[in-house]
Amino acid sequence: MHEAGARWARRSFSGASEAVARRLLGHRFVHVLEDGARVAGLIVEVEAYVGVEDRAAHSFGGRRTARNESMYAHPGTLYVYFTYGMHHCMNVVCGAAGEPVAVLVRALEPVEGLDRMRACRSGSLRRRPSEIRDRELCSGPGKVCQALGVDRSLDGLDLASSGQVFIERARRRPVPSGQIGVGPRIGIGNAGSPWTEAPLRFWIEGNPHVSR
């Protein structure tokens, strides 16, 4: 086991969201497009959502609706939601089975299918694909989904068994704590203390593809 390129199995997704968030850093998120082409990037920035007690989480207070149903599925499930009337964001469900806990993927370092990413990203931009710099490709949760072609149609897929979306082992060891930046989550100003300030965002220190 543990070969490079091996797909993450179910148990890798189990555990507290903060731990899984850190564990995901440096590994490769892959989406196999309908024509078989791969678009993929190394996870460089994530946010942990703790669950029913977390005012910033969609599952706060045990909220369970058609939109966030995937959060209640087993660890390894992909939770994709639509927001601001124009953007998608994707999460990796973790925790224990039935526990609505997840990790938001905020940024990737693009490594495969950059041309396809540019084609997608240029759709809503007036720039030409060639003018989109590598750093603009996946440096934010909405950009990640746009570049990878992830939308609600992928919501609920199982990263541990789907041939369409999965995590590939891209390093033998976790990113050392000393190389992980930690800070408050972004865009949750109305959640209130302590959740607004909680240090639940993690990124690979110094990586240029982290959001700004």
Q: Which positions lie near DNA, rule CB under 7 A? A: 47, 49, 56-59, 63, 65-68, 71, 82-87, 89, 91, 102, 104, 121, 124-127, 136, 140-144, 152, 185-188, 190, 211
Closest contact distance (angstroms) between CB of 119 and DNA is 14
Nearest to DNA of 6, 115 (CB atom):
115
**DSSP states of 32-60:** E-TTS-EEEEEEEEEEEE--TT-TTSTTG
Closest contact distance (angstroms) between CB of 6 and DNA is 26
Closest contact distance (angstroms) between CB of 203 and DNA is 13
Closest contact distance (angstroms) between CB of 82 and DNA is 5
Closest contact distance (angstroms) between CB of 97 and DNA is 18
Nearest to DNA of 38, 67 (CB atom):
67
Nearest to DNA of 100, 169 (CB atom):
100
Nearest to DNA of 28, 121 (CB atom):
121
Closest contact distance (angstroms) between CB of 103 and DNA is 8
The two structure tokens encoding residue 34: 């309908």
Nearest to DNA of 25, 102 (CB atom):
102
Q: Which long-range contacts (CB under 8 A, 24 or more apart) does 186-193 make?
A: 186/47, 186/106, 186/211, 188/56, 191/54, 191/55, 191/56, 192/55
**Which residue from 11, 13, 22 is spatially nearest to 173, judged by alpha carbons?**
22
The two structure tokens encoding residue 51: 């669950």
Beta strands of 3-131 (E only): which ranges? 28-32, 38-49, 78-83, 87-93, 102-112
Q: Is the peptide bond before 129 cis (omega within 30 degrees of 0)?
A: no
Nearest to DNA of 101, 204 (CB atom):
101
Q: How many helices (H) and strands (E) does the chain have?
A: 4, 8
- Backbone torsions φ then ψ of 171, nearest 5 degrees: -160, 155
Q: Hey, how many other C-beta atoms are within 10 angstroms of the C-beta on 73?
A: 17
